[in-house]
Amino acid sequence: MHILVLNAGSSSIKFELFINKTPGDFKSITSGLADRLYLAESKIKIKIGERKVEFVKEMLDHSTALENVIRILVEQEKVIENTEQIKVVGHRIVHGGEKYASSVVIDDEVIAEIENCVQFAPLHNPANLKGIYASKKAFSSAIQVGVFDTAFHQTLPPHAYIYGIPYSYYKKYGVRRYGFHGTSHDFVSKAYAEMIGKPVSELNVITCHLGNGASVAAIKNGKSIDTSMGFTPLEGLMMGTRSGDLDPALVLWLVEKNNNDIDAVNRILNKESGFLGVTEETNDCKPIEDNYDKAEKCKLAMDIFSYRVKKYIGSYMAALGRVDCIIFTGGIGENSEMIREMSTDNMESFGVKLDTEKNIGRFKKSAIISTPDSNIQIAVIPTNEQLSIAQECAKLT
């Protein structure tokens, strides 16, 4: 069965096509990105095995981009024979609100609910909907599946998801912690269980998804019980361009300082803060790590980032009571030995001992990087959100 995974952003569509033969056997046959949509020089980049194909043309909406991707895959590259071959399309949807605790087949009711959640994810959900509409048009006979970033965290208990503000805001408007990156936290916790040969339902893990966006989750017996992102993906760790946790009164102060310009403050906290804000140069962790000893601001940014990861790890150790493993994933988690070391050093008295030799390098495959006598294991598990979405599609259909 051919399963197409789509991740539609405001001006882009990421895609990956899988063939699923038997349960558990997923082969990726092609992947790519259509971006700069709505601009004169929209671009499609497709990877087919080792080969790369590029196509530049004005594409003024998601539908046109998808039509062009299909034309390249069917007519030009002959990766598939026709659109009917694709039986299921899996969509990454950022916000599913409180309604969806797992993936669903998309019907009119689901579309209405995704629209209802636009208020919580004004940048992401409208783009995700564009992807769904384009896909329904292009693959009219396929089953469309929605996989929500928020779904995995629907198991949080009320004491973890209710904020200490008047309860009526929750009842009336749904103001609460939702959490994000659920597909990744779920995927790596299951991959760890598989790696050590134990059921995920018997394991307690702390998963650190560290990329441009970053979040930590506490997972008890396979279920998320707390996570650092909240009502929006702004809460929690400091990130590439996002501030993460700060004093709520500081937001009010910023609003006042910016002449009540809410959009300006929104931009500061979401786009001009984090690594970018502290270094005043870049949101990219790699050059910051490379300049740790050379530039004071790079050292400061790395120190802040890893200190916050460590604080979340510590607090989730307390929340979980017993922890089997601390898992690192995402672009930074998989590639930055410095961040992994700084986030877990000096925790021997809590039973956390990193093996500094095993920690060296970038990880394309899962590995344990703690010492054999560490009470709590430390692991690097590469995430694969597209594969996880394809697996969800296969499970549902």
| Residue found under tokens 């259509």 | 34
Q: Environment class of residue 372 by beta-carbon count within 10 Å: exposed (0-12), middle (13-18) or buried (19+)?
A: exposed
CA 291 vs CA 265, 302, 337: distances in Å: 29, 10, 14
Identify which range of 252-260, 297-305, 309-317, 330-338 contacts ligand ADP by CB under 6 A. 330-338
| Residue 341 engages ligand ADP in binding (rule: CB under 6 A) | no
Q: Are 105 and 145 in contact (CB under 8 A)?
A: yes
Q: Which two tokens stand for residue 317?
A: 């150790």
Identify which range of 39-47, 80-88, 285-293, 310-318 contacts ligand ADP by CB under 6 A. 285-293
- Secondary structure (3-state) at 320: helix
Site string for ligand ADP, 109-138 (x = CB under 6 A): ------------------------------
Rounded distance, CA 327 to CA 278, Å? 26
Rounded distance, CA 389 to CA 100, Å? 15
75: number of Cβ within 10 Å: 8
Closest CB to ligand ADP among residues 289, 324: 289
Closest CB to ligand ADP among residues 204, 306: 306
Residue nearest ligand ADP, CB atom distance: 331
User: What one-character-per-residue DSSP string does 240-271 give?
Assistant: SS---S--HHHHHHHHHHTTT-HHHHHHHHHH
Whether 61 is catalytic is: no
| Total length of the chain | 397
Identify which of 92, 119, 98 has the alpha carbon closest to the alpha carbon of residue 16.
92
Closest CB to ligand ADP among residues 33, 285: 285
For ligand ADP (CB under 6 A), the number of binding residues is: 14
| Residue 395 engages ligand ADP in binding (rule: CB under 6 A) | no
| Residue 31 engages ligand ADP in binding (rule: CB under 6 A) | no
| Residue 335 engages ligand ADP in binding (rule: CB under 6 A) | yes
Phi, psi of 239 (to 5 degrees): -130, -165
**Interaction residues for ligand ADP, span 160-219 (CB under 6 A):** 211-213
Helix (H) or strand (E) holding 217: strand 214-220
Closest CB to ligand ADP among residues 74, 295: 295
Q: Apex CA 102: angle with CA 100 and CA 106, to 5°? A: 70
Q: Are 154 and 187 in contact (CB under 8 A)?
A: no
State the maximum Cα–Cα separation within the chain, in Å, rounded to a whole number.
61
Distance in Å, CB of 289 to ligand ADP, minimum: 5
| Residue 289 engages ligand ADP in binding (rule: CB under 6 A) | yes
Adjacency order of strands within the sheet including 204-210: 223-227, 214-220, 204-210, 325-329, 377-380, 367-368
Closest CB to ligand ADP among residues 181, 220: 181
| Residue 330 engages ligand ADP in binding (rule: CB under 6 A) | yes
| Residue 331 engages ligand ADP in binding (rule: CB under 6 A) | yes
Site string for ligand ADP, 227-256 (x = CB under 6 A): -------------x----------------
Closest CB to ligand ADP among residues 20, 183: 183
Identify which range of 23-31, 252-260, 324-332, 369-377 contacts ligand ADP by CB under 6 A. 324-332
Task: Kindly name the residue from 25, 35, 61, 149 that is annotated as catalytic.
Answer: 149
Phi, psi of 150 (to 5 degrees): -90, -20
Identify which range of 37-45, 191-199, 255-263, 332-340 contacts ligand ADP by CB under 6 A. 332-340
Residues annotated as catalytic (active site), given as ranges: 149
Where does this chain bind ligand ADP (CB under 6 A)?
211-213, 240, 284-286, 289, 330-332, 335-336, 362
